[in-house]
């Protein structure tokens, strides 16, 4: 089974379309949260993922946009965008985001946005944090998002190895691992291209991809819709 793994699309429709095109045909799409927040097209991004039958989990931005919960923890730009998105989305769309599960298991993988210790808010950036999260999973493997940086934490005996995959890299999952596909809509690893990955559940591998898209057009839409300039500027640098 080939599974497209996406995270942190953040209302960036052009980036999502590029990522889906780069992935090509998949048997399933899994999305580890933050479908909305930051970008110019939250409603279109949510609609496209639902149309594609994606399995979505809730991220901290999804909850904040839907209900206002957690807004106090956001920086000013993130909070301004979340409040605008709240107003742009219909009550039905907000209800759908509010009702998303925070943890879901499928095909031997447990999906959440942050970590199994704190599904909405913890940033897993170290082998120790990845291991602690996996210990709470009822499956061999896990998928997370939230950091906007692609990574695979592979548990091997007593040690945890951290891979920082680039475009085209294939990582073997091994016995236990936690994978983060990076961010579709707002990458923060210095590469502005949309980040995504594909799991091959039969071969036990994950392949990472980057997809170029019209960053300038997303920036234009961000400014045209009255979102903070900073959210447009950062997309050019992937930070
Ligand atoms: Zn995010």
Alpha-carbon torsion angle 222, 41, 152, 133, nearest 10: 110
pLDDT at 28: 98
**60 Cα–ligand 1 center, Å:** 8
Give 203's contacts (C-beta < 8 A, 6+ positions apart): none
**136 Cα–ligand 1 center, Å:** 22
Task: Name the token pair of 169.
Answer: 């890299």
Q: According to DSSP H, which parts of the chain are helical?
A: 13-23, 42-51, 60-67, 76-88, 91-98, 127-135, 215-224, 229-233
**100 Cα–ligand 1 center, Å:** 16
Ranges in the chain, pLDDT < 50: none
**79 Cα–ligand 1 center, Å:** 13
Whole-angstrom distance, CA of residue 156 vs CA of residue 112: 22
**What is the pTM assigned to this prediction?**
0.97
Full residue range of the structural domain in which residue 203 is found: 2-236
Sign of the CA dihedral running 187, 41, 87, 234 = positive
**61 Cα–ligand 1 center, Å:** 7
- Domain with residue 129: its CATH number is 3.60.21.10
Task: Name the token pair of 97.
Answer: 């985001």
**97 Cα–ligand 1 center, Å:** 14
* Pair type for strands 194-200 and 2-6: antiparallel
**6 Cα–ligand 1 center, Å:** 11
Question: Are 184 and 224 spatial neighbours (Cβ–Cβ below 8 Å)?
Answer: no
Question: Are 95 and 78 spatial neighbours (Cβ–Cβ below 8 Å)?
Answer: no
* Pair type for strands 170-172 and 28-31: unpaired
Give 116's contacts (C-beta < 8 A, 6+ positions apart): 103, 110, 133, 134, 135, 136, 137, 142
Give 137's contacts (C-beta < 8 A, 6+ positions apart): 105, 110, 116
Whole-angstrom distance, CA of residue 114 vs CA of residue 8: 11
229 class by beta-carbon count within 10 Å (0-12 exposed, 13-18 middle, 19+ buried)? exposed
**203 Cα–ligand 1 center, Å:** 29
**32 Cα–ligand 1 center, Å:** 10
**39 Cα–ligand 1 center, Å:** 11
**157 Cα–ligand 1 center, Å:** 31
pLDDT at 157: 84
**10 Cα–ligand 1 center, Å:** 7
**115 Cα–ligand 1 center, Å:** 13
**44 Cα–ligand 1 center, Å:** 17
Q: What is the CA radius of gyration of the chain?
A: 16
pLDDT at 158: 85
239 class by beta-carbon count within 10 Å (0-12 exposed, 13-18 middle, 19+ buried)? middle
Place of tokens 């091994």: 174
List pLDDT tens digits, range 21-47: 999 999 999 999 999 999 999 999 999
Q: What is the total count of domains within the chain?
A: 1
């Amino acid at each position: 089974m080939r599974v497209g793994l996406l995270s942190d699309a953040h209302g960036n429709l052009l980036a999502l379309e590029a990522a889906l095109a780069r992935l090509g045909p998949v048997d399933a799409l899994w999305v580890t949260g933050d479908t909305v927040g930051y970008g110019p097209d939250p409603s279109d991004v949510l609609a496209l993922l639902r149309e594609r039958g994606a399995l979505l989990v809730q991220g901290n931005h999804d909850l904040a946009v839907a209900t206002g919960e957690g807004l106090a923890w956001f920086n000013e730009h993130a909070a301004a965008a979340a409040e605008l998105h709240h107003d742009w989305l219909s009550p039905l769309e907000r209800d759908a985001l509010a009702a998303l599960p925070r943890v879901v298991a499928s095909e031997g993988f447990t999906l959440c946005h942050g970590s199994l210790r704190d599904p909405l808010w913890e940033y897993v950036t170290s082998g120790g944090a990845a291991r602690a999260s996996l210990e709470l999973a009822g499956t061999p493997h896990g998928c997370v998002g939230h950091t906007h940086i692609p990574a695979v934490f592979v548990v091997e005996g007593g040690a945890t190895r951290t891979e920082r995959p680039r475009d085209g890299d294939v990582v073997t999952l091994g016995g236990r691992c936690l994978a983060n596909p990076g961010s579709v809509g707002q990458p923060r690893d210095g590469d502005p291209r949309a980040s995504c990955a594909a799991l091959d559940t039969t071969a036990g591998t994950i392949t990472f991809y980057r997809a170029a898209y019209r960053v300038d057009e997303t920036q234009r839409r961000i400014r045209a819709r009255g979102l903070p300039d900073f959210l447009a500027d950062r997309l050019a640098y992937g930070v």
